[in-house]
Structure 1
């Protein structure tokens, strides 16, 4: 069971009024000193034995029940539900719809929270609604968000784009009981889809959930990762829907780019994506490069694959086996080299900033074929400091001699996908490139010539970009300044691989001076 934090329990006990909760249950209270008294609804009470203390927000029955407690204990006893179910009811603003019955039920089978989907929904719609429920649960779950932060995956845009979710076992509280016709039908369908087990428990309970969608937007696979380490012996940390793996994660990247970073696990792929490398997809483990992924590479004309499997024995062997297969099909392969024993996520967390460390790993990727790497046009490699700031690949040219030079891999893309496939919009919500895919334009352009007197600027959504000599500036937040008394912005200055980022009020002289001083040091001016 996903644990409710102590701070959340204390908040509920403090903010939910026991007086109003008791009165809403049909109990008439009257003042008795500092307390309130009334007839206890949990036994045949003729002399007021129920005491409610508004100051302490507690209740107690001095009669036959000889029990009491907080608002949580009241809901458990009044509604006949478990502790966790009572917490969930109070979290969702539960208010009794009727008085407590003369003989309170010990265990209720009546659904008290709204079901997140219609009984008549088709299986495809049902799966999507489950993913939506998990997604909303994650956004309101401190423990799940803390886990993502611990893994360096804090991007709200990433959470939204890939519909990340969290299963905390509260879905069952919203479903009709299995002893009712509607409950038997819905729960049976969820079991058939793989979201529920024959025992009635949620398959992904206690797990971060990452869905995989096909090109029609249907849920075809779900990956679950337990967020707690104190698991019972034998409990797997990694879960998928029952049956063979299906789907290609972030398939839009294959449409937009002919060079793909291929990871071993979804957490690693999200790590690359969050660092600004959007041309990334993943296998489902070392043995999980499916025929469907291979066919997608062929369908969309993938030319180069940067294999970013874990740097352990299993990862090395799987990378070699996969490279032989891809090379035989005319797809160039390079091996991204992490330190021994590390995967992409561990490396990004150990060597910060992640954007730079992963860029170094990509530039140092080794050719996996025989002989010399194939000659190809000089590529352009992303500058992750700008990727992270702008949300798309912005790059600079690299010199020869590295893996990203004339004979090595780089993040490349094309203006139109090769082969059949749906059209992919390159516009994100703010008019920039969609963070789901690599750029449909070249990943970046060479630095423009020196500025003219009026310093031309480029506006993309809420971002304003300017170039002055070898320095680049990005200004964000101008539109939020609605008066003349301040000019608060988020300003980033960058020069080659170095950058300085801060939020300041440009109307305040000492803040401008402090930014200029620190930026000059960071950029080596």
Structure 2
């Protein structure tokens, strides 16, 4: 085994190899570069041509040979990395070398997923079952060339057609469970993806790691999108849809367009925009940003700019600052998202992409629109929001630029802005929940606590039956939480398995990560330690009714008088003891 490993290493020049991934510059006998595994401004990554090794002398402190590099860079096991290098130099590995249990398990899942992808593709293009899905795709402007490029498929309505196909290939039921292709319930298994257009998700090497499925018939009371659950090869926080096709274009353009969903990627790709990836969550994660940093210094966010989209942009900003990216934001003039915009007017779409503005310019613009009045009080509120963005900026030159810009916008001195930033800084590093607890209103926290509580409840269906007459999505003020509650009610009223992981997988991309974070919210704070769930429900409903009354009263429209009266009646009849009585039965 050792002899063959050494033979592979001897056929690869480490400087030439690593030079394909980072820009190496000679420094004496060695070569240096910015480390590809962490953010830094001064090169600390050193490659030795003499010893054929590399090491990071920065915060990583990691190093090794060419095998260790490709393992870390592409997140591969030792055996997977060895196979990759052996293929490059034309060496066939002996069986004794690849006798690795972990590697074999991952390879088995890759093989199963590859077969599943081929199966779904065959159903779409070669059977009557796929005709409706094929027509749907063609109606969206996706031709057969693009279908084949992305290996799109269709999962029929059958509960077990994929199971039968894969069992005939000599795989076991447990193998299918491990791959995330089936759902196990009451000792039986059934196909996870049914009546859905299927998008294979690949890693950087082109292996199929999982799938996303879009419901074909919108009339069905099921989640529009579902995804493969976490497996040994699929990790949502690390995956980027389309990265295997986009990698070279991202390097070439030194820019990546980040979109929210599969169609938002495929439609631009069809008109020649190849440096684009789709996120599999509500915002860019630290892990996804780490992958992108290997190929580019610039990220251009081409997300929806509705309320939920802006929330996602704000969440991704904090993580992106860790890597010192140049971040831009696209504002579409010919559609609400990249899919719609690229299909309605592709010239305007391309112009919009080129006209992307710096992230903080975008955030300051939307904040200014929220507070149009030129009064001291409005300026105070505007300044409070501006300061939250300024605190996130790590680059001193960029920060100084925006300090001056904000000072001019508020007609105050630069020194005043700097004092506001210094005063508002949080002194202690805390967990996500505790850190943001200080910045959130009590109403926001109550909404999150309520969702966290019902997420963790043992009898979710029974609890929902009690809560539905009291609390609805309309009682929430945060758009993403509204959608999550609505989906939660619908899912657990119709799903007999009561599987919370399945619920998370059923959520649209932009909501799944938010729901994941909310799950432990109630366990991570002590704010409501002395309050019961009926206290929370009562206050949430009470605040909701009062907010509706206030909003309608401010409008001054006569048509609202009947609604105001109805909400006043509801507020008067709201009885905490009755709510307690109902919830004590659960």
Q: Place the TM-score, normalised by the shorter chain, in its bin.
A: 0.3 to 0.5
Structure showing the higher helix proportion among its residues: 2
Structure showing the higher strand proportion among its residues: 1
TM (normalized to structure 1)?
Answer: 0.42
TM (normalized to structure 2)?
Answer: 0.38
| Greater C-alpha Rg | 1
